[in-house]
A and B are shown apart, each in its own frame.
Chain A
Amino acid sequence: DAGVIQSPRHEVTEMGQEVTLRCKPISGHNSLFWYRQTMMRGLELLIYFNNNVPIDDSGMPEDRFSAKMPNASFSTLKIQPSEPRDSAVYFCASSYQAGGEQFFGPGTRLTVL
C-alpha cells in the first residue's frame, strides 16, 4: 500500500510564478482533501472533493488558488501567481468515505521567494 503520494516534496519558486502541486490518493478512496499548514494558522482545509467533484472550497484563500480532480487517481492544486505568503506545507489526504479516517500524504513544502 503506497499511501497518498504527493509531488514535488519541495518547491522553491519566485513570486509571480505558477505553482502546481500534485496528489495521488489511495486507490479506492472516494474523498480527497487539500490542506495547508503554517506556523501561524496551523492545519487548514482548503478544498474537499467527493467522487472527483469539489464539494467544499470555502477554505481556498483567494482566486489565485484553484484545484482540480480530473479522475479518481489524480488531483492538482495550482497557485497563480504565487506570493511569498503562500509559503507553507501543503498536504493532500484521502479517505474511503466522506466521514472516514483521513490518510495524509507526506506534504509539499512550498517556498515562494
Chain B
Amino acid sequence: GENVGLHLPTLSVQEGDNSIINCAYSNSASDYFIWYKQESGKGPQFIIDIRSNMDKRQGQRVTVLLNKTVKHLSLQIAATQPGDSAVYFCAEKGGSNYKLTFGKGTLLTVNP
C-alpha cells in the first residue's frame, strides 16, 4: 500500500546550525502534508503544513519544501536550538479529508 517514509532515522546537529529533515512519500494523490514534532513523553505537535499547490512555505524558523516531481518533502529548521530536540514526523493526507498517514520519524538531537 501507499506509505510515507523518512530517509534518515537520526540527525545530530550543533546548536545554531541549520537542520534539514527529509521525507519521501509514495501516494501521488496526496495533496496535503504536515510536519509534527514529538518531544519525549508527549503527543505529536503540529509545526507547519503545506498544500500540494505550493512548493514552499515558511514559518517561524521553519521552512517546508515540497517537490511533487520526486515526491519529496523536507523540513528546514534555522538556528537549531536544544529545545528543537525531538522526533519529527511527516504526515500526508490524500483520498480523505481526515486520515493522516505518518512516516516513521526522525530523531533530531541538538548538541550544545
**Chain A positions near chain B (C-beta within 8 angstroms):** 4, 31, 33, 42-45, 48, 50, 55-56, 91, 93, 95, 98-99, 101-107
Number of B residues whose C-beta is below 8 Å from A? Answer: 18
List the 7 closest pairs (A to B, CB-CB), nearest first: A104-B43, A99-B97, A43-B102, A98-B98, A42-B104, A104-B44, A91-B43
Q: A45-B100, A104-B45 are in contact. List 11 more A-B contacts (CB 8 A).
A: A33-B98, A42-B102, A43-B89, A44-B102, A45-B99, A56-B98, A98-B98, A99-B93, A102-B100, A103-B46, A107-B43
Q: Is the CB of B105 within 8 A of A42?
A: yes
**Chain B positions near chain A (C-beta within 8 angstroms):** 41-46, 49, 89, 93, 96-100, 102-105
Q: Which residues of B contact A48 (CB under 8 A)?
A: 98-99
22 contacts between A and B (CB under 8 A): A42-B89, A42-B102, A43-B89, A44-B102, A48-B99, A56-B96, A56-B99, A93-B43, A95-B98, A99-B93, A99-B97, A101-B49, A102-B46, A102-B100, A103-B46, A104-B44, A105-B43, A106-B42, A106-B43, A107-B41, A107-B42, A107-B43
